[in-house]
């Protein structure tokens, strides 16, 4: 299959995915802005005034990277999970699978949609943060960009895998509710794990979201609770595992072909 053919297929899937969430922007882009504003008001302004500083930074400034990363995780995941399941539910994903398009291109197209939505939401949340923080200085731009791309890719793949196994629309909400939310809240978004007592700090280091939040915070503020090299390595490994899993599931037609 020619490179130009693959590129055309990839572009088509990506445009379809972007058109899908932009068409209903009131449901996909506005809620994150409102939710993050509430987080800034409650945890930043009200609670933050009592806490003072965290990690040597004003508490409001400390939570900005975590809240942006939380929005990236949530939106990249939900975009692909809902889109792929809808395609499976409507039986049009089968047409894509039997078309002369490689599995990698299909996966990349869905990832592109998740990444696009995550980036737009990240920009919106960053703009919102300017109303609560005087200035947000980027210390390591390359790490910042890499973390956003890798994290969005990872949770786009996770959303695709969830959609493959889901049998009803209710199944789409199980992982965000019982897995993503606890991992995110315990992933150092609102606190430094150095505050946790010995055993709990050790347990927290098994949370993959911790490495994503801290790598992103390092790119923003130059501070991190974990080694940044280790954090990037963890994210890359999870991406590889999830991509191979998603690839194998689509290749075998698991949850799709009857």
- Whose tokens are 């911790």? That residue is 210
Q: Are 86 and 113 in contact (CB under 8 A)?
A: no
| Domain boundaries along the sequence of the chain | 3-252
pTM of the predicted structure, to 2 decimals = 0.91
* Of the candidates 138, 115, 113, the residue with the CA atom closest to the CA atom of residue 126: 138
Q: What is the pLDDT of residue 144?
A: 93
Q: Are 74 and 32 in contact (CB under 8 A)?
A: yes
d(CA 109, CA 11) in angstroms, rounded, equals 7
* Of the candidates 80, 78, 143, 152, the residue with the CA atom closest to the CA atom of residue 118: 152
Task: Tell me the pLDDT of the chain (258 aa) as tens digits.
Answer: 567 778 888 898 999 999 999 999 999 999 988 998 888 888 777 777 777 778 778 888 888 999 999 999 999 999 999 999 988 888 777 777 777 788 899 999 999 999 999 999 999 998 888 888 876 778 888 999 999 999 999 999 999 999 999 888 888 888 888 888 889 888 888 888 888 887 888 888 899 999 999 999 999 888 999 999 999 999 999 999 999 999 999 888 776 765
Q: What is the pLDDT of residue 139?
A: 86
Q: How many helices (H) and strands (E) does the chain have?
A: 13, 2
Task: Tell me the residue length of the chain.
Answer: 258
Measured CA to CA in angstroms, residue 233 lies from 35, 65, 215 at distances of 31, 20, 11
Q: What is the pLDDT of residue 171?
A: 83
Distance in angstroms between the alpha carbons of the first and the last residue of the chain: 27
What are the DSSP calls for 141-171, one per residue? HHHHHHHHHHHHHHHHHHHHHHHHH-SSGGG
Q: What is the pLDDT of residue 257?
A: 60
């Amino acid at each position: 299959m020619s490179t130009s053919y693959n590129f055309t297929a990839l572009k088509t899937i990506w445009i379809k995915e972007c058109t899908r969430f932009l068409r209903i922007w009131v449901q996909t882009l506005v809620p994150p802005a409102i939710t993050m504003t509430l987080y800034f008001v409650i945890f930043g302004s009200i609670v933050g005034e009592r806490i003072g500083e965290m990690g040597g930074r004003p508490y409001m400034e400390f939570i900005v990277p975590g809240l942006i990363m939380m929005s990236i995780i949530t939106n990249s995941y939900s975009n692909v999970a809902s889109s792929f399941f809808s395609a499976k539910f409507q039986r049009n994903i089968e047409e894509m699978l039997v078309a002369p398009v490689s599995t990698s291109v299909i996966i990349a197209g869905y990832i592109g949609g998740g990444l696009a939505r995550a980036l737009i939401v990240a920009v919106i949340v960053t703009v919102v943060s300017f109303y609560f923080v005087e200035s947000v200085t980027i210390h390591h731009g390359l790490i910042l960009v890499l973390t956003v791309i890798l994290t969005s890719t990872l949770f786009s793949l996770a959303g695709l895998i969830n959609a493959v196994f889901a049998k009803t629309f209710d199944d789409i909400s199980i992982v965000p509710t019982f897995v993503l939310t606890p991992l995110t809240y315990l992933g150092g978004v609102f606190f430094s794990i150095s505050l946790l007592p010995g055993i709990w700090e050790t347990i927290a280091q098994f949370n993959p979201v911790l490495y994503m939040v801290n790598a992103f915070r390092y790119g923003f503020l130059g501070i991190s609770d974990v080694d940044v090299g280790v954090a990037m390595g963890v994210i890359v490994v999870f991406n590889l595992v999830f991509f191979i899993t998603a690839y194998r599931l689509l290749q075998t037609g698991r949850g799709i072909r009857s």
